[in-house]
Amino acid sequence: MTWHIPEPMALAYVSGEVQGARAASIEAHVMTCATCRSLVGREVPTDRLDAIWADVEELVDAPRPSWAERLLTRVGVPESDARLVASAPSLHLSWLTAVAGVLAFAAWASQNGDRGLVLFLIVAPIVPVVAVAGAYGRWIDPTYEVSVSSSYPTMRLLLLRAGAVVVASGVLAALASLLVPDARVAAAWVLPCLALVTVTLALSRWLPLLWSAAFVATCYVMPLLGGLHQDADVLAFVISRAAQLTALVVAAAAVTFMFTDPQLRAALRRSQ
Amino acid sequence: MSPVPDVPAGVVDDAALLRQVSDGNRQALELLYRRHAGWLLIRLGRRCADPGVVDEVIQDTFVAVWRSASKYSGQGEVAAWIWGIGVRRLVDAVRRVPATQLVADPIEQNLELSAEERVLLGVQYGDLAGALDRLSPELRAVVQSTVLDGLTTAEAGRLLGIPQGTVKTRMKRAREQLREELA
């Protein structure tokens, strides 16, 4: 292209004096002409461009946000929250892969008679509890020291992360349950899971999260394994209406109890 | 003011630079930045009155160029590709900072739009620039964002702070008015 924007017109464009159709024409030409791009561009003060470049360099060097962080930002979680939530160890891809593997195994086992179905009912509700345990805590979380020393409210972080990991592992468990041949069993893990997760969170008021999760998981798994050992009909028990209702009541009680915690109420208020 | 520098012959072209950027070459990114940040900043600055927001958008844009250089199809001007990223980042930034003051660009006199732009407007003949001139600022802003800046109606709505439906009605009204005047 041999035609170039006359310099006075370029200057008038940069200063905003040229507008409308003429400005549109300049902009269309600038897209196709490197000479006129540099003519327009060199009117920007060098130190302003240098300052922006310094920021670009810094961001380019920074580690790329994880997939979880990008997903959270996309659904509207503020960036600072997203970074903290996404750094939960149990949201890492390696962790989720392991969870998917365990659930796939349980779903496979459920194809093989009543004992397999019981195994699925033991594993599926426990998986989100383990994920919550892996969401936050001194032994698990490499960012723990940072989060303790920052002014960010611990309870809020715990809840945000617990929510995120329960959704992530819950979705995996729901997918696995699609493979379970018995429809009653496929749905029966949901309420016990809800009860276990909420009780774990409620107990974390006194216990470190890891202990509280271990305690709750043990209280759920041990009696069921004991029942299996005694040849009791564990399957019928777990899917019975009474057991399911109990799970619902326990979950409701745990949530109610959590709301008596002033720290938690403060955390929820902050998130509104 | 020095005379217009011609781009020296034998210099690596933008598409080749972008390939190097997608291989992780930081120097190529800086060269691309030096070539394109200036005009992009001026052009975005005409659409957003807050220089802080514009600087942030430029920064976002080149970080995006770094991360998605491999997505450039190899067809069309690299400048146009960068503009596409930049103007969308501006839309996002404006959504985050609703108080941002936007510049509605009043249309002035008599340069013609490209053939493609005329077809898009559904206008074939006549004093186009004059007709654009007589559009109300609201209608002109919509024509500029959709036809000239290449935004979708949803994005234009976000940029201008009006609902998507309003963008469509204004676009329709602008088209009717132009057709009437140019008939």
Identify from A56, A61, A77 which residue to disrupt to test chain B contact, counting B C-beta atoms within 10 A and taking the largest count: A56
Whether B133 and B91 share a structural domain: no
Do B31 and B66 lie in a common domain? yes
B83 and B18 within one domain: yes
How big is the A-B interface in CB pairs under 8 Å? 131
pLDDT tens string A8-20: 889 999 988 887 7
Residue of A nearest to B58 (CA): A52
Is the pLDDT reported for residue B21 higher than 80?
A: yes
Assign residue B72 the CATH number of its domain.
1.10.1740.10
Select, from the ranges A92-96, A136-140, A160-164, the one with the highest average predicted confidence (pLDDT).
Answer: A160-164
What is the pLDDT at residue A48?
94
Q: Where are the alpha helices (DSSP H) in chain A?
A: 7-14, 20-30, 34-41, 46-61, 67-74, 79-86, 93-109, 113-133, 144-149, 154-177, 183-188, 190-203, 209-229, 234-239, 241-258, 262-271
Which pLDDT belongs to residue A45?
A: 93
| Token representation of residue A104 | 């796939």
> What are the phi and psi torsion angles at B69 (to 5°)?
-55, -30
- Pairwise pLDDT comparison (A130 vs A63), residue with the higher score: A130
Band of residue A237 on the pLDDT scale cut at 50, 70, 90: confident
Query: Is-contact B109 A22, C-beta < 8 A?
Result: yes
B103 in a structural domain: no
Residue predicted with more confidence, A118 or B10: A118
- Is the model's pLDDT at A153 over the cut of 70? no
Q: Could you tell me where the DSSP H helices lie in chain B?
A: 14-22, 26-45, 51-68, 78-96, 115-121, 128-133, 137-143, 153-160, 164-182
Clarify whether residues B87 and B155 are in a common domain.
Answer: no
Is B102 part of a structural domain of the chain? no
B91 and B121 in a single domain? The answer is: no
Q: How near does any CA of chain A get to the CA of B119, in Å?
A: 15
Kindly state whether residue B106 falls inside one of the protein's structural domains: no
The chain B residue lying nearest A58, using CA atoms, is: B63
Please report whether residue B8 resides in a domain: no
Q: Quick one: pLDDT at residue B120?
A: 47
Please tell me which residue of chain A has the smallest CA distance to B39.
A41
d(CA B23, CA B183): 53
Residue with tokens 């990114």: B29
- Return d(Cα A164, Cα A159) in angstroms, integer: 9
Q: Give the count of beta carbons closer than 10 Å to the beta carbon of residue A133.
A: 26
- Are the beta carbons of A22 and B110 separated by less than 8 Å? yes
Q: What is the mean pLDDT of chain A?
A: 82
Alpha-carbon distance of A107 to B32, in angstroms, equals 52
In a domain, B92, yes or no: yes
B122: confidence class by pLDDT, cuts 50, 70, 90: very low
The domain boundary, picked from B63, B96, B129, lies at B96
Judged against a pLDDT cut of 80, whether residue B22 lies above it is answered with yes
Chain B residues within an 8 Å CB radius of A79: none
pLDDT the model gives residue A151: 56
B40 lies in some domain: yes
- Together in a domain, B82 and B128: no
Arithmetic mean of pLDDT, A170-176:
87
Q: What is the pLDDT of residue A142?
A: 59
What is the pLDDT at residue A163?
A: 83
The mean-pLDDT minimum among A55-64, A115-124, B47-56 falls in A55-64
Mean pLDDT of B89-97: 79
- Name the most confidently modeled range: A153-162, A204-213, A244-253, B3-12: A244-253
Provide the sign of the torsion angle of the four alpha carbons A57, A58, A62, A64, taken in this order: negative
Chain B residues near residue A14 by CB distance under 8 angstroms: 42
Residue A191 has pLDDT above 50, yes or no: yes
Q: Are residues B128 and B172 in the same domain?
A: yes
Percent of chain A with pLDDT over 90: 15
**Shortest CB distance from B111 goes to which of A25, A48, A64?**
A25
Name the more confident of A122 and A138: A122
Q: Spell out which residues of chain A touch residue B46, defining contact as CB-CB under 8 Å.
A: 16, 23
Domain count along chain B: 2
Structure tokens at B34: 């030096």
Q: Give residue A150's pLDDT.
A: 57
> Do B91 and B19 fall into the same domain?
yes
CATH number at residue B160: 1.10.10.10
Q: What ipTM does this complex have?
A: 0.71
Tell me the chain A residues in contact with residue B39 when contact means C-beta distances shorter than 8 Å. 30, 37-38, 40-41
Check whether residue B155 and residue B90 sit in a common domain.
no
Q: Are residues B173 and B124 in the same domain?
A: yes
Q: Residue B9: which pLDDT band, with cuts at 50, 70 and 90?
A: very low
> Using a CB-CB distance cutoff of 8 angstroms, which residues of chain B are in contact with residue A52?
37, 55, 58-59, 62
pLDDT at residue B107 greater than cutoff 50: no
User: B59 and B128 share a domain?
Assistant: no
Q: Is residue B52 part of a domain?
A: yes
pLDDT of residue A107: 86
How does pLDDT run across A92-125, given as a tens digit for each residue?
A: 777 788 888 888 888 888 888 888 888 888 888 8
Residue in B93, B7, B83 with CA at minimum distance from that of residue B40: B83
Residue A271 binned pLDDT confidence (cut-offs 50, 70, 90): low
Contacts of A60 in chain B (CB under 8 A): 26, 29, 63, 66
Of B5, B55, B66, the CB nearest to A38: B5
Q: Is B3 a member of any domain?
A: no
> Does the pLDDT at position B169 exceed 60?
yes
A164 has pLDDT over 50: yes
Q: What is the mean pLDDT of residues A132-142?
A: 69
Spell out a b/e string for A101-116, using b for 16 or more CB atoms within 10 Å of the CB, else e: ebbeebbebbeeeeeb
What integer pLDDT is reported at residue A149 of this predicted model?
Answer: 57
Q: What is the pLDDT of residues A22-39, one digit of tens each?
A: 888 888 889 888 999 999
- Check whether residue B50 and residue B123 sit in a common domain: no
Q: Output B164 or A114, whichever has higher pLDDT.
A: B164
Across the interface, of B33, B63, B148, the residue whose CB is closest to A24 is B148
User: What is the pTM assigned to this prediction?
Assistant: 0.52
Per-residue confidence (pLDDT) for residue B111, from 0 to 100? 38
Residue numbers in B near A59 (CB within 8 A): 59, 63
Mean pLDDT of chain B: 79
B135/B122: higher pLDDT: B135
Cβ of residue A20 closer than 8 Å to a chain B Cβ: yes
The phi, psi pair for A265, rounded to 5°, reads -65, -40
* Residue span of the structural domain in which B26 resides: 14-96
The pLDDT of residue B113 is 46
